Amino acid sequence: MKTRTIIGLEIHVELSTKTKMFCSCKNEFGAIPNTNTCPTCLGHPGTLPRINKEAVRYAIMAGLAFNCDIKTEMKMDRKKYFYPDLVKGYQITQQDEPYAVGGYIKLKNGDKIRLNHIHMEEDTAKSNHDENNRTLMDYNRAGLPLIEIVSEPDLKSAKEAREFVEKLAQTLRFLDVSDCVMAEGSMRCDVNINLENLENGKRTAISEIKNLNSMKAIEDALNFETNRHKKMLEDGNLGIKETRRWDDLSQSTISMRTKETTNDYRFSIEGDIPRIKLEKSFIEDIKNNLPELPEKKEQRYIEEYKLSSYDANLLSNDRKLSELFESTNEIVDNPKEVSNWILTELSRRLNEFKIESDQMNLSVKNFAKLINLVISNKINNNVGKKLLREIFESNDDPEKLAKERNLLQISDENFLEDIVNEVLRENPQSIEDIKNGKDRAFGFLVGQAMKKTKGKANPQQVNALLKDKIAKF
């Protein structure tokens, strides 16, 4: 039996504004519960919402990055339902006039996954369940600015869905509009899936899996559901439309409720917020100031800097690393060396200290100076690595340290020639061995020269001198 998997996603993303969507309370993860609240986000009678302009700007940035059409006029609506996490008894959202429509995200294979729309709304409070089966409410999250990104059902596999979400999160992080940390709830994903029997056209009923909070959970849940729906088709059972949840322990989805009837949210216009009208110049200004996005940046790094696709991908997908790369290369003017130092030694230090590149003490000036010392053969590569470990924390001048500790390489031609002559006089057997094809003997002679200079001789010059002189024997 040939089948087709049909997957659509609904992704909620918290925007990284300083304050909430409709009040001036802090947008801050990890604060003491119920400390970032006020009468407005707690839904007290008589309070009025005020739209956060920065949240609107961030939302438009996301829409433009995903190739959407941005509406210049829209409204806000009230989505009414009763639940403890919704203090007002309704959520301010956009029902039928989303601010962004259309758009797409391109996968690695070239497929364009269409977006239906993106709309703005406010987040709800967070329910915390303790060991005594009590539910404790934290209203710090109530009223945080959200965008909901709704895809068309164009995804064909769990693997594609994961790639889609990873690229979406990567882009939003690059724009600095959200950190997209699923473990902290700043990005949450609902998936819809069903299968079609291509031989008779029959489809299983759609299953919705709610609140998936990791990339792995998205892929695992969809793989499980794909197999479950396929088994249903094989059994001649089309199932029922239902909402399910993913259980990590059993590695399976569990039915929560059926969806035989449509939820009646009794939508109505948000009367406290007038229709929103955006100037075209406001949208154009945002569009003109969008940063270069990862896909274009990666291509530019390959074409302009001749980096490998692997290195270009790693650098372009991290905005802070890419900025460090470009600012360092302005001084060094050797993109391959700069890329290598960032992606190896520097990344090792960043991971060790668990910080981002913009949080380190090391300045671009001293980092570039260290790379230039190695490139110009003033210090060797190993000395450079050791100095980086030190200046990463201290931000000392690497050239000054190298001079103070007598670490600068000896590049004086006459001095090195005397050393090489001395090594050759002391090791005539090694010369014979080299002439007889024993290449290891050459390495021994290099080692002897380095030993005599306490490791400070320029190895490239030593190599060249030895080859030149041995050829004359």
Residue whose pair of structure tokens reads 């007889």 in the numeric block: 436
Arithmetic mean of pLDDT, 171-180: 95
Under DSSP, the state recorded for 450 is: H
What does the pLDDT read at residue 260? Answer: 66
Q: Say if residue 469's pLDDT is above 90.
A: no
For 463-473, b/e burial (b = at least 16 CB within 10 A) is bebbeebbeee
Token couple for 191: 């998936």
Q: Which residue, of 404, 423, 438, is where some domain finishes?
A: 404
User: In this structure, is the dihedral angle defined by the CA atoms of residues 392, 396, 399 and 405, taken in order, positive or negative?
Assistant: negative
Query: Does residue 22 sit in the same domain as residue 122?
Result: yes
Query: Does residue 127 sit in the same domain as residue 245?
Result: yes
Q: In this structure, which long-range contacts are made by residues 250-255, counting pairs with CB atoms below 8 Å and at least 24 apart in sequence?
A: 251/220, 251/224, 252/224, 253/207, 253/209, 253/221, 253/224, 253/225, 253/228
Range with lowest mean pLDDT among 9-13, 150-154, 387-391, 465-469: 465-469
Higher pLDDT, 406 or 316: 316
Contacts of 370 (CB under 8 A, 6+ apart): 341, 384, 387, 388, 391, 398
What does the pLDDT read at residue 261? Answer: 67
Residues 240, 319: Cα–Cα separation, whole Å: 44
What does the pLDDT read at residue 446? Answer: 85
Q: For residue 358, what pLDDT band results from cuts at 50, 70 and 90?
A: very high
Residues 17, 50: Cα–Cα separation, whole Å: 14
- For residue 429, CA distances in Å to 434, 443, 450 come to 9, 14, 19
Query: Does residue 101 sit in the same domain as residue 154?
Result: yes
Query: Does residue 342 sit in the same domain as residue 444?
Result: no
Q: Say if residue 413's pLDDT is above 80.
A: no
What does the pLDDT read at residue 412? Answer: 67
Give φ, ψ of 433 to 5 degrees: -60, -40
Arithmetic mean of pLDDT, 282-293: 96
Beta 207-212 vs 242-247: how paired, if at all? parallel
What does the pLDDT read at residue 435? Answer: 82
Q: Which of 139-153, 380-394, 398-412 has the highest mean pLDDT?
A: 139-153
Q: Could you give the angle at the alpha carbon of 12 between the alpha carbons of 216 and 131, nearest 5°? A: 65
β-pair partners for 149? 11, 118
Instruction: Say if 286 falls within a structural domain.
Output: no
Secondary structure element (H or E) that encloses residue 233, with its range: helix 215-234
**How many other C-beta atoms lie within 10 A of the C-beta of residue 311?**
20
| pLDDT tens profile 177-208 | 999 999 999 999 999 999 999 999 999 999 99
Q: For residue 466, what pLDDT band results from cuts at 50, 70 and 90?
A: confident
Residues 260, 312: Cα–Cα separation, whole Å: 49
Query: Does residue 340 sit in the same domain as residue 274?
Result: no
Instruction: Say if 287 falls within a structural domain.
Output: no
* Domain of residue 464, residue span: 413-471
Range with lowest mean pLDDT among 38-42, 55-59, 219-223, 409-413: 409-413
What does the pLDDT read at residue 194? Answer: 97
Alpha helices (runs of H) in 2-86, residue ranges in sequence order: 53-65
Q: Which residue, of 251, 280, 309, is where some domain finishes?
A: 280
What does the pLDDT read at residue 463? Answer: 86
Query: Does residue 400 sit in the same domain as residue 419?
Result: no
Q: For residue 433, what pLDDT band results from cuts at 50, 70 and 90?
A: confident
| pLDDT tens profile 308-337 | 999 999 999 899 999 999 999 999 999 999
CB-based contact 2:192 (threshold 8 Å): no
Beta 242-247 vs 145-151: how paired, if at all? unpaired
What does the pLDDT read at residue 443? Answer: 87
Higher pLDDT, 386 or 452: 386
Q: Say if residue 428's pLDDT is above 90.
A: no
Contacts of 371 (CB under 8 A, 6+ apart): 328, 332, 334, 337, 338, 341, 384
Query: Does residue 350 sit in the same domain as residue 440?
Result: no
Q: DSSP secondary structure string, 106-169?
A: E-TTS-EEEEEEEEEEE---EEEE-TTS-EEEETTSTT-EEEEEEE-S-B-SHHHHHHHHHHHH
Residue whose pair of structure tokens reads 């301010």 in the numeric block: 92
Q: For residue 259, what pLDDT band results from cuts at 50, 70 and 90?
A: confident
CB-based contact 67:102 (threshold 8 Å): yes
Query: Does residue 367 sit in the same domain as residue 332?
Result: yes
CATH number (domain holding residue 418): 1.10.10.410
Range with lowest mean pLDDT among 19-23, 42-46, 376-380: 376-380
User: In this structure, is the dihedral angle defined by the CA atoms of residues 370, 374, 376 and 378, taken in order, positive or negative?
Assistant: positive
What does the pLDDT read at residue 455? Answer: 76
Query: Does residue 13 sit in the same domain as residue 101?
Result: yes
Query: Does residue 94 sit in the same domain as residue 160?
Result: yes
Instruction: Say if 92 falls within a structural domain.
Output: yes
Longest dimension (CA), the chain: 99
Angle, helices 294-305 vs 309-316, to 10°: value is 140
Range with lowest mean pLDDT among 80-89, 365-374, 407-416: 407-416
Average model confidence (pLDDT) across the chain: 93
What does the pLDDT read at residue 187? Answer: 97
Contacts of 246 (CB under 8 A, 6+ apart): 209, 212, 217, 220, 221, 224, 252, 253, 254
Radius of gyration of the chain (CA): 31
Query: Does residue 384 sit in the same domain as residue 456?
Result: no
What does the pLDDT read at residue 417? Answer: 85
CB-based contact 8:155 (threshold 8 Å): yes
- Total domains in the chain come to 3
Residues 197, 89: Cα–Cα separation, whole Å: 42
Arithmetic mean of pLDDT, 420-445: 86
**How many other C-beta atoms lie within 10 A of the C-beta of residue 59?**
25
For the chain, the helix, strand and coil percentages under 3-state DSSP, each to the nearest 5: 40, 20, 40
Arithmetic mean of pLDDT, 228-251: 95
Q: Say if residue 263's pLDDT is above 80.
A: no
Q: Say if residue 278's pLDDT is above 90.
A: yes
Torsion angle, alpha carbons of 37, 39, 40, 42, to 10: 60
Arithmetic mean of pLDDT, 271-297: 95
Residue whose pair of structure tokens reads 């090792």 in the numeric block: 348
Query: Does residue 358 sit in the same domain as residue 464?
Result: no
Q: Which residue, of 227, 252, 280, is where some domain finishes?
A: 280
Q: What type of residue is 436?
A: N
Q: For residue 36, what pLDDT band results from cuts at 50, 70 and 90?
A: very high
Token couple for 308: 């490998």
Instruction: Say if 288 falls within a structural domain.
Output: no
Alpha helices (runs of H) in 235-334, residue ranges in sequence order: 280-288, 294-305, 309-316, 319-332
Q: With a threshold of 0.85, does the pTM exceed it?
A: no
Q: Say if residue 108's pLDDT is above 70.
A: yes
